[in-house]
Amino acid sequence: MRQSTPILWVVQACLIWLTLVSASPTISHDNLVSDADSDSDVSALQTRDTKPFPLRILPLGASITMGYKSKDGNGYRKWLRQQLRYAGWEVDMIGTMKNGTMHDNDHDGHIGWRIDQITSHVKQIIPQQPNLILLNAGTNDALQNYKVDTAGERMDSLLTYLFDNIPNTTIILSTLTFNGKKPQLGTDISTQYLELAAKRRARKERLVVADMSTFIQWKQLVDKIHPTAAGYEEMASVWWAAIQEAEKEGLLQAPTSTTKNNTAFSKAREKELDDSTADPRLPAYTAPPQPTIKRINSSKGSSLSHQWHLWAVAFQILTCIDFSYV
Ligand SMILES: *[C@@H]1O[C@H](CO)[C@@H](O)[C@H](O)[C@H]1NC(C)=O
Ligand SMILES: *[C@@H]1O[C@H](CO)[C@@H](O)[C@H](O)[C@H]1NC(C)=O
Ligand SMILES: *[C@@H]1O[C@H](CO)[C@@H](O)[C@H](O)[C@H]1NC(C)=O
Ligand SMILES: *[C@@H]1O[C@H](CO)[C@@H](O)[C@H](O)[C@H]1NC(C)=O
C-alpha cells in the first residue's frame, strides 16, 4: 500500500497537468508558412530520372477536371502530365471520359456534377485501379447550395469507398478553387475538407491535400468558376506540389497487380502517348503545410472527434507516468 500512494499521486498530478495543458484539438492550416526542409527535397526529386513504377492517374471531379472553358480542353491535365514526365514518371491517365487535345486525355470530370453524383458514378472506374486519384469535387455543391453543411461528410464517404475498393491508392484531395458566385459556400466546403483530411492523415492514410483555395485567384477565372489558361496552369503546380509531398512521405505505391492493363503498360507506349517530356515550367508555387491536428491553449474550435481526444489523453497519461519514473 505504501508504494501505491505515490503512484496514485503521480497519476493524479498527471491528470491535473493534462487538464491544464491538454487543450482541445484543432485544425491548423497556416497559408503563410511552409515546411523549411521541403525545398531541398523537391530539387532532389526533380533531378531523379526514373521512377520505380508508373502512375495510373484518375483525374476525378466535375467540369474543372474536364478542363471546361480551356482553349485546348486539357485544363490542368496536360500541364501536370508533362511535369510528371519531365520528373521521370511514366504516366497513364485513366477515366471513363476523353476530352482535350492531349493524347492521353482520359479523365472522369463531369460538367455540373456534385459529390453525390460523382460518388454514384465512381464504381465504374474501380476496375481500372488507379494508384493516384486527383479529386476536385464540391464546387457544384456550393454553386447549387446543395447541403453544404454536410459536403465534408459526403466527401468522406467517397474517400472511404475509394480507399476500400482500390488497395494502396493515394488520393490527392483538392480544396475548392475560388468561385465568384458562392464564395463563402466554397470556403465552407474547403474548411470541411481540411478537417477530414487532417483526421485521415493522422490515421496515416494515403491522402494529401492540394490546396487550390489560395493559389488560384479571382483574376484567374473566366466565368467566376472556371480557371483561365493561367489558372489551369497554376492548378497543375498545386497538384504537382501535392504529388511530390505524397512521394516524399512514401505514400505512392505501384498499381495493384490485379490491374488489367498494368502489364500491358510499356515504355514504348508511354512515349507514343506522350505529348512532351520537356520542362513545362509550371508557375512557381510553395505549398502550405499539410493540415494537422494540433493542440492549442484555447477551449474553442474543437471540431475533432471525442475519440481522438481520448486517445491523445490516454497517450499523454502514459508518457507522463513513464516520465515520472525516470
Ligand atoms: C467531352 O468528351 C465527351 C466524350 O468523352 C463528349 O461527349 C463531350 O461532348 C466532350 N465535351 C467537351 C466540352 O468537349
Ligand atoms: C500494397 O503495398 C504493399 C507495400 O508496397 C504491398 O506489399 C502490397 O502487396 C500492396 N497491396 C496490393 C493489393 O497491391
Ligand atoms: C490497355 O490500355 C490500352 C491503352 O489505353 C487500350 O488500348 C487497351 O485496350 C487496354 N487493354 C486492356 C486489356 O484493358
Ligand atoms: C494562447 O494563449 C496566448 C496567451 O494567453 C494568447 O495570446 C493566444 O491567443 C492563445 N492562443 C489561442 C489559439 O487561443
Least Cα distance to 59 among 189, 186, 239 occurs for 239
Contacts of 228 (CB under 8 A, 6+ apart): 219, 220, 221, 222
Closest-lying ligand 1 atom to the alpha carbon of residue 100: 14
Residue 21 C-alpha cell reads as 495543458
Instruction: Tell me the per-residue pLDDT of 223-234, one tens digit each, with 9 for 90 and over.
Output: 989 999 999 999
d(CA 63, CA 75): 9
Residue-level pLDDT at 31? 36
Which domains occur in the chain, in start order? 55-272 (3.40.50.1110)
Q: Which ligand is nearest to the CA of 265?
A: 3
Question: What's this model's pTM, rounded to 2 decimal places?
Answer: 0.74
Q: Which whole-number Å values give the CA distances from 169 to 83, 151, 190, 202, in the listed order?
A: 21, 22, 22, 17
d(CA 100, CA 68): 9
Give residue 253 CA to ligand 2 midpoint distance, Å. 7
Instruction: Tell me the per-residue pLDDT of 250-287, one tens digit each, with 9 for 90 and over.
Output: 999 998 854 545 445 566 666 667 788 899 999 999 99
* DSSP assignment of 6-52: HHHHHHHHHHHHHHHH---EEEE--SS---TTHHHHHHHHHH----S
Give residue 116 CA to ligand 3 midpoint distance, Å. 29
Give residue 316 CA to ligand 4 midpoint distance, Å. 22
Report residue 210 CA to chain centroid gap: 5
* Ligand 4, CB within 6 Å, residue ranges: 296-298
d(CA 176, CA 119): 17
Q: Which whole-number Å values give the CA distances from 251 to 64, 97, 185, 270, 288, in the listed order?
A: 25, 27, 31, 23, 19
Residue-level pLDDT at 246? 98
